[in-house]
Structure 1
């Protein structure tokens, strides 16, 4: 039932593009594991071993803290309509901020989303499919507008203030790199 691949093929890439939601899992070496649902039009596949997704402002910033610590990430896609399937992408991720040189190249791949916070790039090491026969069927009605509306109302200054309050550290108190140089923040006391 389960199949493993070293990269995405055309069929799996099409499957990903047809999904309206995906899930991101990360974990620090110790502490809380994070699992987050993602929507909007926020995911791109530049090549069979690379996935990039635009992360908009949220209540926490766990993914960034975990990626800074160890880079481990899993993305999961589920078929909620049609033939059952679950697809997982395992690999090493890096976080790109607006201050990073790579940002300008990557951000142009996405439609503008207010509150854009980071772009995560996953270097896919393993692709795994499984049956998904226990995943229920759901009818898609559309993306929610609330997060985009909230970010537009906050404006750039309000978003920055929100990041200061809610996005600087993870639940475990780990730095997220949202403002400071990532190396200095990830390795305090090292010159």
Structure 2
């Protein structure tokens, strides 16, 4: 077993900030429900305190993370190093969804570049912070560039088009749970 941390300290915060990609894992309560793992990246993640993190959630073709958090709040956020020094860090906790117009939404969005695809902010009250070796993760050349497809698609659709897209794709999860 890896190391357990009391909280996210400055060294761990710097390491998290240096990772270009991270993952979220959520699941519904129903045994037959589908586990969801989502890759994420870009300038969207913030360590908000020693036991609190958050990120800007962009519009996607699904809404599983939001739906699962609304149902039960359980989440694991995982960061992994792809450089020569192996490391995996997991943040387990209770997540919450914050929609436009709320104070938390505005607080977290202000920490990142504006993006017309922004649909929500997710925060996590971190209950467990751990790391493990990461020896099985390959060494990769990390980030040769960011994809700007989310922004370009949202700009092309415009605000009304984004609302229509969310109404079509983001109202419920693949398991029928409430999304947006």
Q: Does the TM-score normalized on the shorter chain lie above 0.5?
A: yes
5 Å-filtered alignment, 1:104-123, equals: 104-123=106-125
- What is the CA–CA distance in structure 2 between the aligned matches of 1:58 and 1:18, rounded to whole Å? 24
SS at match of 1:132: coil
In structure 2, which of residues 144, 154, 157 is the aligned counterpart of residue 154 of structure 1? 157
Residue in structure 1 matching 2:175, options 168, 172, 191: 172
Equivalent residue for 1:2?
Answer: 2
Determine whether 1:80 maps to 2:82.
yes
Q: What does the per-residue CA deviation read over 1:59-92, in whole Å, with 9 as the maximum and x for residues that have no partner?
A: 1000010000110110000000131000000000
Separation of aligned partners in 2, 1:103 and 1:4? 30
Distance 1:18 1:99 in 2: 30
Which stretches of structure 1, 4 residues or more, deviate above 4 A after TM superposition? none
User: Which residue number corresponds to residue 19 of structure 2?
Assistant: 19
Which consecutive unaligned segments of at least 5 residues does structure 2 have?
none
Give, in angstroms, the shift of residue 100 of structure 1: 2.7
Aligned CA-pair RMSD: 1.1
CA-CA distance at 1:114 after TM superposition: 1.5
Q: 2:73 aligns with which of 56, 71, 74?
A: 71
Displacement of 1:99 after TM fit? 3.5
**Contact preservation (8 Å) 1:85, 1:130:** yes
State the partner residue of 1:61.
Answer: 63
Report the 3-state secondary structure (helix = DSSP H, G, I; strand = E; otherwise coil) of the residue aligned with 2:113.
Answer: coil
TM-score by length of 1: 0.89
List gaps (5 residues or longer) in structure 1. Answer: 179-191
Q: For 1:110, what is the secondary structure of its paired residue?
A: coil
Aligned residues: 177
Q: TM-score scaled by structure 2?
A: 0.95
